[in-house]
Structure 1
Amino acid sequence: MPGKYTIPRLDFGSDLVATLFEIERLRADIGTGDTPYDTYVELHRLFDFVMSVVSARIEGNHTTVYEAIERTDSQSDPQREITNIAAAVRFIDELDAHTPLTHALVRELHQRVVADLVREGDPTPGAYRDVEVGIVESDHRPPSWVTVHAEMSALLDFANEDRPLHEQMLQIAIAHHRFVWIHPFRNGNGRVSRLFTYAMLRKTVFATRGYSALNPTAVFGNDRDSYISALEAADDLSDVGTIAWAEYFVTGIRDDIARLVDLQQHAFVIDQVVAPALDGLRRDGLVSSQEHDALRIALERGVIKSGDLEDVVPGSPSYRSRFIRGLRERHFLQQAEEGPRFYRLSLARGPIALRLIRRLDVLGYLPRMLADD
């Protein structure tokens, strides 16, 4: 049997190699767009929250994406599971992209994911399992708990290796499978494995790209059964099975990178994503024509101040201030980082966020798992 952490030899004419070349071509376009940084960050946060819903859905959580966004302050177990995952993603985003992947980091992610949960909790948050476990509806028997720490050490050594660009996607695909194969925790392995993979993407392929790193959960959420089947194909640790899993993984990543590049083009964001959402709000009477025009200016400029709205909101500065305050109170606008009198669209929460999810679904950006939401 080949080594557990050996990169398989590939047929140069295979579909997998062709897909890897496509990823490298697309990767060169990351960071070259003109979407305002704050706008992109908001879209990134919204997408990550939706992916938190998907990650929980894979584990059997039936909360819809709309329920999750509207009930972020709920203390229900299903909602807490989603907010835990979203908070763990933000925790990863705050790390230096070059932070090594360590036992401490993996256990920290686990502790954050299962914190205060009942159905999807763990009796030992942040600790590797000390019992034998099985995987429901799977023939794979994870290694004994006695070897978990050693198995994870080998995985982390592999995940932290400096690999040439053309091997990095294969490295990440293999690491994701081996994490699930080891099953280091009693519960929460799937959720932590997807976060671990996100951290690897930031550390390797997108190390210098900041918020441009994509959340790979979209790949796994397109079809849960296909995801599980692709993972199981690699459980024998053979080259054939590992390549089959890698083909599934990298094809999904390629499609997501293409969408990521689109979202960095401001014209695309305006014309295809946010503007249609604003038009829908006006059409349904949730904003007035004047409010719609003001929000459209914020969309096109990225950041606005009161004077920027003078043409569409005539009158005194105090009147425009009250107008802006009303939009902020209804979560259409929020204060920008530039200062207390600068504002930008609120895209990751509030009424616009709900319409953006519909647009992203129409554009094919959301996993099929959310189709019935």
Structure 2
Amino acid sequence: MQKSVSIISPEPLFNSRITDLIIDIEYLRRKDTQSTVDPFIYNQLRDIFRDLDSMFSARVDGNKTGLSKYLEAKEDDPEAKGRKTIEIDKASEAMKIIDENSNELVFFQGFFTELHRTLREGITNESSRFAGKYRHTAARPELPGDTSPAYHLVETFMDKLISYITKKETPKFEAIKVAFAHQRYLWIHPFREANGISARLVAYAMLKKLGFGGIPNRILNPTFSFCWDTEKYLKLVRKADNGKEKDVFAFLEFALEGLRDDMQRMDNLLNYDLIRDTILRPSFKHPIFERLFSEQDRLILDVAMDKQVFQAADIRMLFPQKHPTEISKMIKWLRDKDLIIGIDENARRYSINLENKYLVKMVVGKLERGGFIPVS
């Protein structure tokens, strides 16, 4: 009986809230938002959000690594990292691979198995043994009444999902397609483990491929979009397993609301004045930096924050009486402290290093307090 099940996009009524959300999402997707953030700064923010989304995605699946603990663990030697941190790092790396190859992405069986292999290989001997291999057992025996396909039908249903994902749709149905494909993937439960985190990465790949980053290539966060309320997400996504229209629409409305809200939040980060005034400047006022910096260091960092990308000549304007070699030493001191970073091979241009081990914690704290990290 399960073999006859097809995967078809549900069509909401014109006057439904889902339709309103689709209209909002399409507006954001097509909006020609001009970014005032230097690409080097923005890509650092993208790296930070990639790690954050991966961490919260792992938490949805039961990895309870806390934010502070994860940020501290990132500084550890790779050989010393624990399994839970490695899981998050692998998810972040998978997101990066998707980012770098979004235009060339092709959805086929090998895409899903290779994505899963990227996530699971090398964590434990057991995870490596099953990495990239469809399950050969029942999907979720712990869930009463689980309707996921029997293991021998997984490949058949993945073919159906691939046909659904790759079928050309009118743009207005593409947001629904991403959310519904996410739910159906979880229902199929193709792998022995890591189905949740891989499902969110599949959704991410679809969002990137379909251009939901828009003209400014905004940051997209699949977990912050679809799992902004973890308890509600798990309840709705599982209830929609039954395929009943009412339950499917309930999940789609929840997911599309999260996607719209995340796109709106990320558009705020295209405004550099907001980043500088609400994230960077307050971060550098933390006592740890007050003790670390001299007055001239603060002046240089003020230039870095104001200009985003600066050169030695910009610093010489602050200290016209100083010899160029002294200016170079001042810049080198901040580079050695990992607070600024060269952005080209000759290191003639510099920028704030948002991923400095102290600064990143302050930045993440400001992002959290500013409502950019919505997961509950």
Q: Does the TM-score normalized on the shorter chain lie above 0.5?
A: yes
Quote the offset at 1:267 in angstroms.
Answer: 1.7
1:206·1:213 contact (CA, 8 Å) conserved in 2? no
1:7·1:171 contact (CA, 8 Å) conserved in 2? yes
Segment of structure 1 superposing worse, 137-146 or 85-94: 137-146
Whole-Å separation in 2 of the counterparts to 1:212 and 1:98:
18
In structure 2, the partner of 1:26 is 28
In structure 2, the partner of 1:297 is 303
Quick check: 1:335 aligned with 2:342? Answer: yes
2:304·2:310 contact (CA, 8 Å) conserved in 1? yes
In structure 1, the partner of 2:14 is 12
Distance 1:325 1:144, change over 3 A: same
In structure 2, the partner of 1:355 is 362
Q: Which amino acid in the other structure matches residue 72 of structure 2?
A: E
Quick check: 1:76 aligned with 2:78? Answer: no
Whole-Å separation in 2 of the counterparts to 1:81 and 1:119:
14
Quote the offset at 1:103 in angstroms.
Answer: 1.4
In structure 1, the partner of 2:38 is 36
In structure 1, the partner of 2:118 is 112
Quote the offset at 1:113 in angstroms.
Answer: 0.8
Q: Which amino acid in the other structure matches residue 68 of structure 2?
A: Y
Quote the offset at 1:69 in angstroms.
Answer: 2.2
Q: Which amino acid in the other structure matches residue 121 of structure 2?
A: A
SS in 2 for 1:94: helix
Whole-Å separation in 2 of the counterparts to 1:151 and 1:210:
36
Whole-Å separation in 1 of the counterparts to 2:285 and 2:126:
40
Segment of structure 1 superposing worse, 59-68 or 46-55: 59-68
Segment of structure 1 superposing worse, 326-335 or 21-30: 21-30
SS in 2 for 1:123: helix
Q: Deviations over 1:315-368 (max 9, x none)?
A: 222222222222222221111037422111111342221111011111111134
Q: Select which of 282, 285, 294 maps to 1:276.
A: 282
Distance 1:281 1:222, change over 3 A: farther
Whole-Å separation in 2 of the counterparts to 1:123 and 1:341:
48
Q: Which has the higher helix share?
A: 2
| Structure 1 residues 119-198: aligned runs within 5 Å | 121=127, 123-134=129-140, 136-137=142-143, 139-198=145-204
Quote the offset at 1:5 in angstroms.
Answer: 2.2
Whole-Å separation in 1 of the counterparts to 2:112 and 2:345:
35
Quote the offset at 1:282 in angstroms.
Answer: 7.0
Quote the offset at 1:254 in angstroms.
Answer: 0.7
In structure 2, the partner of 1:47 is 49
In structure 1, the partner of 2:224 is 218
Distance 1:119 1:6, change over 3 A: same
The total of aligned residue pairs comes to 369
Quote the offset at 1:30 in angstroms.
Answer: 5.5
Quick check: 1:67 aligned with 2:69? Answer: yes
Quick check: 1:325 aligned with 2:336? Answer: no
Quote the offset at 1:238 in angstroms.
Answer: 2.0
Q: Deviations over 1:96-134 (max 9, x none)?
A: 424221211211111111122239935311111122231
Quote the offset at 1:210 in angstroms.
Answer: 7.4
SS in 1 for 2:310: coil
Quote the offset at 1:293 in angstroms.
Answer: 2.7
**How many percent of aligned residue pairs carry the same amino acid?**
26
SS in 2 for 1:6: coil
1:194·1:216 contact (CA, 8 Å) conserved in 2? yes
Q: Select which of 199, 205, 212 maps to 1:199.
A: 205
What TM-score, normalized by structure 2, do the two folds share? 0.90
Give the unaligned 5+ runs of structure 2.
Answer: none
What TM-score, normalized by structure 1, do the two folds share? 0.91
SS in 2 for 1:304: strand
Whole-Å separation in 2 of the counterparts to 1:38 and 1:233:
42
Segment of structure 1 superposing worse, 204-213 or 194-203: 204-213
Distance 1:137 1:288, change over 3 A: farther
SS in 2 for 1:226: helix
